[in-house]
Every structure is written in C-alpha cells, then in structure tokens.
Amino acid sequence: MSKVSSWFGRRDPDARGYYGAFGGRFVPETLVAPIEALETAYLEARGDPAFAAELQRLLQHYVGRETPLWDARRLSAACGGGRILLKREDLTHTGAHKINNALGQALLAKRMGKARIVAETGAGQHGVASATACALLGLECVVYMGTEDMRRQALNVFRMRLLGATVCGVDSGSCTLKDAINEAMRDWVARPGDTHYLLGSALGPHPYPLMVREFQSVIGKEARAQCLAQAGRLPDAVIACVGGGSNAIGIFDAFIDDPGVKLIGVEAGGEAIRSGRHAARFAGGAAGVLQGTRTFVLQDAHGNIEATHSVSAGLDYAAVGPEHAFLQETGRAEYHHASDTEALQAFQDLARLEGIIPALESAHAIAYVQRAARAFGPDAVLVVNLSGRGDKDVQSVEQLLQESNRVSP
Amino acid sequence: MSRLSDRFAALRRTGQTGLVTYVTAGDPDLERSAGIITRLDRAGADVIELGVPFSDPLADGPVIQRATERALAAGATLPRVLDMLAGIRAGISAPVVIFSYANPILRMGLERFVSMARQAGVDGVLTLDMPPEEGQAFRTAFGEAGIDTIFLLSPTTTVERIRKAAALGSGFLYGISRLGVTGVRETVDDSARELADRVRAETDLPLALGFGLSRPEHVKAVGKWADAAVVGSALVKVIAEHGNSPELLDEVERYVRWLRS
C-alpha cells in the first residue's frame, strides 16, 4: 500500500491489510474486485486536499464539530477520585459518533460514482447516520437490521424511514447485527457495480478497518488537544466502549504513540461471561475469521459463531475490529467488560449527576470508570468517550427497570 | 494426476458435459446425507461437492442458508461430516470436494483437517471466503496431502486474477456464472459465457460453471462453454421438499438423472 501523507492518520496496516496477525481480506471472489477498487479510491481520496476540505466542511458545519470535552465534576466526585473528562460525541448531529464515518464513506461513494448505499445497523445509530448522509448527498439508501434490533430500537427504524431510507428486516440467525452484516454483504455481492457497502464499524475486510478508523480519528485528535488545553497534560487513560470498536479506535488513535496514556476498551459483559450470555470477545473468544477479517471471535468448538447478548444492541456482536485484537495482543490497549446491570446503573447515574443521558453502549464505558476511577488516584485525568446519546434507549430502559423494580421514585 | 483431473480428462475425451452436484452435508441429517451422496454417485454425478454447514454463510442465498440451519440443528460439524464421508467413501466413484467457509477449518486446525480429509478420501477443497491472496497456507497443506485447491472465479474477476487462480489452483476452476449469492435462476446468464471465454483464453484447467442452474437445458447450455455445470441450490431444494419423505433418496436420484437427460 502506498503511504500517502495527508490530513488523515498514517498508521497503515501492511499491504495485505494486516495489523500483526489480524485483519486481511477474507471475502468471496465476487467481492475482491469491488474491494480492491474501494481501496484504490480511498487511498486516492485521502491524499486529495479537496476531499479532506469537503469532509472538514461537513464535519464543522453539518455535524457540529468540534464536540466539547466536558469536565464531569459531579461524576468525578461521586467516583471518589480523578478528573473525568467526557468527549461529547453524543452532541453530534444524529447523536452518535457514527456520523463521522458515514459522511466520509458517503462522500467517497459519490466520488466513485456509486448511486446506491447499503448499510447494516445494530442499535440503529449507524443506520440513522447512513440515512442522513445519503439524504444530504442525494444517494439511495438501504439499511439491513436484525428484527430483534428493530424491536429494541423502534424509534431509530422510524427515523431512518423518515430520512428516506429503506429498512430491511433480517430474520436469520440471531436477528441482530451479525446477521444484518451478512445480509448487507449478500446485497453488495449481487450489485457491486452501482452499490457501495457503508460498513459502520472498524470491522470487515481491508480497507474497512483502516478507513473507518481514519474517519473516526477526528475524535481522538480533538480530545487530545482539548485535554492538553484543559488539564494542561495528557490523560492517564482513555476509555471507550467496544462493540466492533469504531468509537474506541477513533479516540485511541491520537494517543497510540503516547506511552504514558493507558488505552482501555470496555466490552459488553451481558448477564455473565457464559456462552451466549455476553459479548466480551477478549474474555471468551478465540482467533478466527468472520465477515472478512481475522480477529477475536466468540465461537464454539467447531468454528460456528456463538450467540451473543447485551442490553445494548450496538455492543451485541460476536467479533471485534482486527486492530483491537492487535492492540490487545501487543499489550498497547487493555480490554475489560461491564455487565448489563452495571451499564443500566451508569445510564441512570450519568443522567442524575451530569444531566446527560448516554447511549447504553457508552454507559458501559461510564460503568467501567465508576468502578476503576479510584484506583487511578486522586490526581488522575481520565478521558471517556461518550460515543452517543441515550434517547433511543429511553423506552427500553424504562421497561427493563420496571421489570426488575429498580426504578426509584 | 488427481481423481479430479482424471475425471475431467475423461469428460474431455468423450466430449461430455460434466455434472457437479452440491449438497449441504448433514441436511436433513448425517445418516440421510450419506444416502444422498451414494445416490448422487449412482445417478452419474461427475463431482460431488459437500457443503460444510457454517453459522454465517454470507455467500449463500436463502435455500442453502436454510439447509445449513437444518444441518446444524441436526448436529452436523466438520469432523462429523468427514467421519460420515470416510464411512461411505469406498463405495463412491465420483471425486468429492469439500466446500467450506474458512472458520470451521481454522477452528479444527489445518493439520487435523488435512489428515482427516485425506483419510476420508477428499479430493479437493474450495474455501469460499479464502481468495488466493489469503489461501497460501491452505494450498500448501492441501497440496502436500494430494488434495486439490479449487478457487472461485466470478464475472468481476480480472484477467490477472484468473491467471493467479489458474496458477495456484488445481483440479478445476469454479466459475460463478453470475453475480450474487447462491440460488436458483430461470435462465443461464450471458455473463456465464463471457466468463468462460475469458477463462478459456488464459488456461487449460477444467472449468465448472455454476450459481443458479436447475434444468437439463441449463446443463447443456453451459456445456457449450465449460467442462461441467454445477447444480446446487436446485438440488438442495429437492432435498428440502422431500426431507421427511421416505421417497427422499429416490427423488434425489430421479432429479439428478433428469438433469443428465
């Protein structure tokens, strides 16, 4: 791969798309040519100042960047130590970091002359971001979504339809994100000529993990500069939830070369670390190949992908982005998990302490910091990526709390 | 010469169009699957492709997805499929190709897979999501065991990649005669002929064309451009329709004989 110096980050994988032993391009033959064309187009685009300028214009005036780094003093006090800074991706247009990547890829698709976008979505945030980018740029948009997720995230289904997208329910397998990705890939295999697959996380075959990370790297760039300005130094740790891992890799990216900054990913611990009841790939997974990439995957003894569970649809996925597998193996990042119960508690705590209702996905990162802040010491600076807002989750949380009688008057 | 090369050489000598049949192993269960394979051979299939059921068959359409679900529910796993094959292989004259996604083989371990596959009399392996660029280790291990590595070609495959697949693959090349996932179609697509012409210009390796064929006239049409026709989803549909009937094996044999007519 050519090393193109540009506005974007420059830590490229090797020529075959590998981060150490992870990554690569495990796709059916029909997709090889479209993926090679995508790689070429992407490498050209990221070296083109006009492309960067157009994306920058959209990020600033349409998305509303830069997003604030909020000094969460009441949360910090309640955690009993350290200074917690929240990177407010929840304040972006459409309410989650997903829009950064959706706009980048939609611009690229347009540059490639594609008229049609397919996307998958779990929590619905990437589907909404894709539908939004397509409405703005005049592209047709088809979103695949598991029927179980459509039930959990009904509000986002309506938002996508309102934005002009076609939402196709997927009722194979576990009816969640993994199955939606299978279906989006099947669509792309059938129409590679006029269609771009707008993958929403740092997953899939090369160049997706690289491209998605670079479109999300704006989060870390801003957070690093903001932290230096507000705290006068780099943070002790950067913490983010990890489903596929796009918000995490996006904020980690700027700190990779700062050895003093711990990078901490928080996976979905679900009900328990027991087959089928969680989505913590580093706690229960093994290396394998799923959906185009070699990475850590929750699988059974015969290589079939295991069912996953999380209270948050966006973390409910059996594989993790290959660069996270690499960061974990090399020890540059560490991965922990937070349970459904902890995330639900963090969801309520952040609302009451800071007046911010986080997405259930992001609530996992909050839950971890609540648990771990004290151990970092009273002078620690902790940056937490608040990847999305919780409007989409309010209804299902209300139901869950009523069921378990945890709702306080 | 491998059994696959021998079979295709014989087809060329007699000027016949070969018939490659695909079934999902373990559908409706391993025992009946063994019976189906025996009948495919008896009905004159030139190559038998055995699909290994995998939880996430992203290159397959609804017909094979459902077959995969039935096979997994009935307890089929890669080692069990190979055991089943080992038990009946001596009675089967057609070469047998394992058709799998990468993960079941990786999970089993390449060495153990190759050893079991050799014992089961597997002649070739096609790994759907393992293009030549990723398939080096597989190809080396299969080659050492005398097992052919079969690569896919599609209408989007460039001339350079056709050359690469022809140089690295052996036995035969599997051409996808149109875009999309597996499934039954009514007519043979023009892109089948274009692909066949492009492959013919680059290599003498036998070519089987598939994806969507279901009728004897399809097989004949493909025979004009390629060495063999692949029938997959249509056969899997016959198995689905008669899965619980005592006539299942007879229906399978009747269908394959009809394709041959």
**Nearest Cα residue in chain B from A193:** B156
Which candidate from A29, A301, A304 shows the least CB-CB separation from B157?
A: A29
Calculate mean pLDDT across residues A7-24.
Answer: 84
**For A189, which of B55, B59, B104 is closest by C-beta distance?**
B59
Distance from CA of B116 to the nearest CA of A (A): 14
Note whether B152 contacts A29, CB cutoff 8 Å: yes
- The 10s digit of each residue's pLDDT in B121-145 is 999 999 999 999 999 999 999 999 9
**Which pairs count as long-range contacts for A46-53, CB under 8 Å and 24+ apart, including other chains?**
A46/A4, A46/A6, A46/A7, A46/A8, A46/A214, A47/A4, A47/A5, A47/A6, A48/A6, A49/A6, A49/A7, A51/A107, A51/A108, A51/A111, A52/A6, A52/A7, A52/A8
Answer yes or no: is the ipTM higher than 0.90: yes
Reduced DSSP (H G I as helix, E B as strand, rest coil) percent helix, strand, coil of chain B, to 5: 50, 15, 35
Mean pLDDT, to the nearest integer, of A201-218?
A: 98
Task: Give A8's pLDDT tier (boundaries 50, 70, 90).
Answer: very low
Per-residue pLDDT tens digits for B23-43: 999 999 999 999 999 999 999
Verify whether the Cβ–Cβ distance B133 to A27 is below 8 Å: no
Has residue A205 got a pLDDT over 80?
yes
B126-157 as b/e: b if 16+ CB within 10 A:
bbbbbbbbbbeebbebbeebebbbbbbbbbbb
Q: Do B103 and A185 touch (CB under 8 A)?
A: no
A10-19, A104-113, B89-98, range with the lowest pLDDT:
A10-19
pLDDT above 70 (res B187): no
Q: What is the mean pLDDT of residues B148-160?
A: 94
Chain A contact probe: residue of B65, B134, B158, B159 with most A CBs at under 10 A: B134
Task: From chain A, pick out residues whose CB is under 8 angstroms from the CB of B104.
Answer: 302-304
Judge whether residue A4 has pLDDT over 80.
no
Name residues whose C-beta falls within 8 Å of residue A83's C-beta, 6 or more positions apart in sequence. A71, A76, A231, A379, A380, A381, A382
Q: What is the pLDDT of residue B14?
A: 97
- Identity of the residue numbered A55: L
What is residue A3's predicted lDDT score, i.e. its pLDDT? 34
Query: Best residue in A26, A36, A175, A298 to probe B by mutation, most B CBs within 10 Å?
Result: A26
Query: Can you identify the CATH homologous superfamily of domain B3-260?
Result: Aldolase class I (3.20.20.70)
Q: Exactly one of B41, B46, B60, B123 is catalytic; name it.
A: B60
Q: Across the interface, do A291 and B151 touch by the CB < 8 Å criterion?
A: no
pLDDT tens track for A90-107: 999 999 999 999 999 999
Active site residues of A: 98, 120, 387
At A118-138, the pLDDT tens digits run: 999 988 999 999 999 999 999
Q: Tell me which residue in A26, A29, A178 faces B154 most closely, judged by beta carbons.
A: A29
pLDDT tens-digit map of A324-370: 999 999 999 999 999 999 999 999 999 999 999 999 999 999 999 99
Contact A28 B59 (CB under 8 A): yes
Sign (positive or negative) of CA dihedral B204, B208, B210, B214: positive
Across the interface, do B106 and A186 touch by the CB < 8 Å criterion? no
User: Hey, what amino acid is at B47?
Assistant: V
Residue range A140-179, pLDDT digits in tens: 999 999 998 898 788 899 999 999 999 999 998 888 899 9
Take residue B68 and report the two structure tokens written for it: 């995969």
* Residue B176 pLDDT level (bands cut at 50, 70, 90): confident
Q: pLDDT (tens digit, 9 = 90+) per residue, B48-99? A: 999 999 999 999 989 999 999 999 999 999 999 999 999 999 999 999 999 9
Integer Cα distance of A308 and A178 in angstroms: 10
pLDDT digits (tens, 9 = 90+) for B197-214: 999 999 999 999 987 899
Does residue A327 contact residue A263 with C-beta atoms inside 8 Å?
yes
- Residue A406's pLDDT is 53
Give the Cα separation of B78 and B99 in Å (integer).
11
Which positions ≥6 away from A186 have C-beta within 8 Å?
Answer: B58, B59, B61, B180, B181
* Known catalytic membership, residue B49: yes
Look over chain A and give the mean of its residue pLDDT values, rounded to a whole number.
94
- Tell me the whole-structure pTM to 2 decimals: 0.95
Q: Give the pLDDT of residue A154.
A: 87
